Chain A
């Protein structure tokens, strides 16, 4: 590898700006499943039926549809009945609410959300069952929590199928494309400083282009692979990424059409960010909503997808951005690279160089390695050196096109080998055969997917244990606010939970008089409210009322209350030079 010169520019160090604030690269993830019911024929397909029957089996809070105003249009009535009573043949289930414009609170992208004991949640998004893992700090925990949530969905699938009339069967797929022009997301959400967010989207275009170049070339290890092209891209037998064909612009806040490589939707999830009651957490923390990636099942692919992104974002946050890595047209490069599983195709950088995706990734690795060695990820990206090593090992195997070794690590390679084997076994099959596309889908089927067949046979490398995955099915991570969310939901009687969101929970308690009173816990700091910070609140004999007396925010007071609970609200904040970092106040 060629030695690289120092970064072109470190914003903040050359122009008198104060040093960059840094935050741990906390990560959330939400993924929509492909879902359908075999043996049922409905005019608009069976997605709505499948997602409602699956969600019905999840135990979570608030109780089903609590807090929603009841709409009696045919579609909302059908949806409610599906959640309450189970299987239905109501053909209106997949329709939009006809009263939306006149006051119904039906939201097609967020319907009947339930938070679970593990701090994550499940809901229906555009007729897909959507699973959200709790916020985690490490890529390792992301892998465990993601597989845990898929196991929860598998359990729901099995129970739901057992209740169905004979001849009908729900199928759930952990993928991102139906092969018929529709894509659904597997999103990641990273915590970054408000300043880094502003640099990325409002001030420093080079940061955006750096991120776009990284993302575009990273599909070589994050793709799940699929047969065929979609969205009017040129035909191809097999491609690396399920999502690549659907990206049409560089930047935008939209997620369902004209999808952008980099999504600028600004939802801090750290309390209200406007008005007199704005949360201090929302003022200095932001969320990067990453809609770019495929659902990955191989542990190595999943860990690299999150872990390397954490490191890249730490670099952006530190202003450690190399402008010479900007691509001429990253949107075009994504599908061009995706359409070439031989890894030979080159794309042009803005400076005129033409590189393969692997070559560009190796340059990113060089840059990143120096940043990590200089302490740039200390305290904010767990296991950064190990992630770097795994990334390099994988890139070297990609450079050598060692597909036998890579099949143990990367979904798109494993799936391709399965499909190639099927073609060897049955020479009559070609890339247009429905049997091959069927196999493509079944790779990620929750019930009997080929991936799990290979994992169970010891044929893919694993990074987390079975015990760790099982733990996250019901237990929240201990090092984020998800822990306090999970504990509060356990402590409450189901009827007491009125509303739950990522950054607050509203309880309904017995009042002094006839009317109940509301109590709100604001969890605006995603890296606060950890087990260490909050466990004294949750002693075995603690009642919900006692816990809320410590945690809840009176409606007329700001979120940060008193020294007694300051630790639950105060972020781990590392200012300035990473070599001089200090942790307050939890260190």
Chain B
């Protein structure tokens, strides 16, 4: 993580304890946790969005030009 970046302190769960990291210093547990979190969040969002009428939504999204 870059010094400009910060985790979201209100929402991010602590990394699980585990091995210090891979050969390049990466914490594999943290990466796995991020990936698992991504997938879980994606699953919820996908289910929510896809419960609607996608065809009608896409047609309604038509815009008339712009800059």
Contacts and interface: CB of A to CB of B under 8 A. Distances in A.
Contacts of B46: 418, 421-422, 425-426, 439
Interface size class of A (residues with CB under 8 A): 35 or more
Given A386-B3, A441-B61, A422 B13 contact: no
Nearest to A40: B60
B7 A458 contact: yes
Contact of A183 (B49, B54, B66): B66
A345 to B, nearest CB: 26
B4 A463 contact: yes
B52 A438 contact: yes
Nearest to A143: B4
Interface in B31-59: 31, 34-35, 37-39, 41-46, 48-50, 52, 54-58
Secondary structure of the A side of the interface?
Answer: mixed
Interface stretch (A122-130, A280-288, A320-328, A370-378): A122-130
Given A32-B67, A421-B46, A453 B41 contact: yes
Contacts of B35: 404
A347 to B, nearest CB: 26
Contact of A126 (B4, B55, B56, B65): B65
Given A438-B57, A459-B37, A459-B38, A390 B5 contact: yes
Interface stretch (A44-52, A59-67, A541-549, A579-587): A44-52
Interface size class of B (residues with CB under 8 A): 35 or more
Given A94-B64, A185-B67, A463 B5 contact: yes
A128 B63 contact: yes
B3 A389 contact: yes
Contacts of B60: 36-38, 45-46, 171
Contacts of B44: 453
A195 interface: no
B54 A127 contact: no
A187 to B, nearest CB: 7
A134 B54 CA distance: 36
B26 to A, nearest CB: 9
Contacts of B34: 404, 407-408, 459
30 contacts: A37-B60, A45-B63, A94-B64, A125-B66, A171-B57, A182-B63, A184-B63, A184-B67, A255-B67, A300-B2, A303-B4, A386-B4, A387-B4, A389-B3, A389-B4, A390-B2, A404-B34, A405-B31, A407-B34, A421-B39, A421-B43, A421-B46, A422-B42, A439-B45, A442-B49, A448-B48, A459-B41, A462-B5, A463-B4, A463-B6
Interface of B: 1-8, 10-13, 31, 34-35, 37-39, 41-46, 48-50, 52, 54-58, 60-67
Interface of A: 32, 34-38, 44-47, 94, 109, 125-128, 140, 171, 173, 178-180, 182-185, 187, 255-256, 291, 299-300, 303, 383, 386-387, 389-390, 393, 404-405, 407-409, 417-418, 421-422, 425-426, 433-435, 437-439, 441-442, 448, 450, 453-463, 466
